[in-house]
Amino acid sequence: MNCGYVAFIGQPNVGKSTLMNHLLGQKISITSRKPQTTRHQILGIKTTDKGQAIFMDTPGMHESSKKAFNRYLNKTADTTLLGVDLVVWLIDSLAWQDYDEVIFKKLERANIPVILAVNKIDRVKNKQAMLAFFADAQKKFPFKEIVPISALKQTNLDLLDNLIMQLLPEGNIIYPADQITDRPERFLVAEIIREKLTRRLGDELPYALTVEIEKFEELPHITKIYALIWVERETQKNIVIGKQGEFLKSIGMEARKDIEALIDSKVYLQLWVKVKSGWSDNERALQSLGFKE
């Protein structure tokens, strides 16, 4: 059998989380159209009769920032290359971006087999341009394979899945065959709530909030969950709550449905919104909210 760790890397919003969810056949990572939705390194574990692939979804690689939160995201993305057996580099266009040169250098230093997966290929009409790009890519870096895919429409995902398993080293499985992630239910519940907020709020506010599960109580016929939504300013708190609490109520209803499907239990969900000024640029606040290296 083959077994190993597979890192999904790439710039923000290229579809890494969507790809991992579809390869697993189950939603583990939250998704939205906003870049930098993924904040933590999340393992998705797929076990078949051929072996076990341990997928690692990570924040997008992007240029450095002075803000503590962005430094945390960059460090999380960079350290993914340590100790993995295979890299799947996801891009979403037939053109190299400026920061891709930095990724090339990181991959050269890491000396790990790399598959280049070109996502959103359903949007490409000029097949000759696609073939020319693939030829140029092979000159720039010794990719093991170059695969055109559509993560959303699941185009060529079976091909990619087979290539990944073939390129992993031989070995016994690491995780139990029925385990699909390394993250506890509390973490996944917090991420579901954050996904609903990220999808419904404007462009800036999702980056100024985080979700913390204060209490997770499993009773015989119901699970009671109490969650805090932390924002940085009082004005943001008012937006998240909405007029007469209607926005927060609708977020709770949407999240509760997904949580019940996740944990297979009836759920009572209580949401509060609190202000923690400057949490995203405070190392100690980040640690207290679960952003630990």
CA torsion sign for 109, 89, 161, 27 is positive
pLDDT score of 64: 61
Residue numbers in the chain where pLDDT is lower than 50 = none
Which residues of the chain form beta strands (DSSP E)?
2-9, 42-48, 51-57, 86-91, 114-118, 145-148, 210-218, 223-231, 267-275
Q: Where are the domains of the chain?
A: 2-167, 185-288
CATH of domain 185-288: 3.30.300.20
Homologous superfamily of 2-167 in CATH? P-loop containing nucleotide triphosphate hydrolases (3.40.50.300)
Beta bridge partners of 44: 55, 181
pLDDT score of 89: 95
Cα end-to-end distance, the chain, whole Å: 32
pLDDT score of 99: 83
> What are the strands of the beta sheet with 42-48, ordered from one edge?
42-48, 51-57, 2-9, 86-91, 114-118, 145-148
